Amino acid sequence: MESGDSLAGIGTKPGIRWELIAQANKITAPLVIKPGQKLTILAKTTGGAYTPPPFPNGLAPGRSSPSAKGLQQVLKVRTAA
């Protein structure tokens, strides 16, 4: 780090939010960093493709809407598990 660097500026090149840099280095308010200070910058991960959860039985896109009673019943079963 050099004089004048900021967490936001440091995070710009690798595309990492300054909040994550502060958290990884246990830097709290007033968020002061010093020239020569070594920081841990976590690698940016791509994650994976998002896979939505399956629809509960009786519910599926493109089908007619279930009655409110049927939907409530499905939700009760899901939340009780």
DSSP string covering 16-63, please? --HHHHHHHTT--TT----TT-----PPP-------PPPPPTT--TTS
Q: What is the mean pLDDT of residues 41-45?
A: 73
The reported pLDDT for the residue numbered 56 is: 66
> pLDDT tens digits for 4-17?
888 888 888 788 88
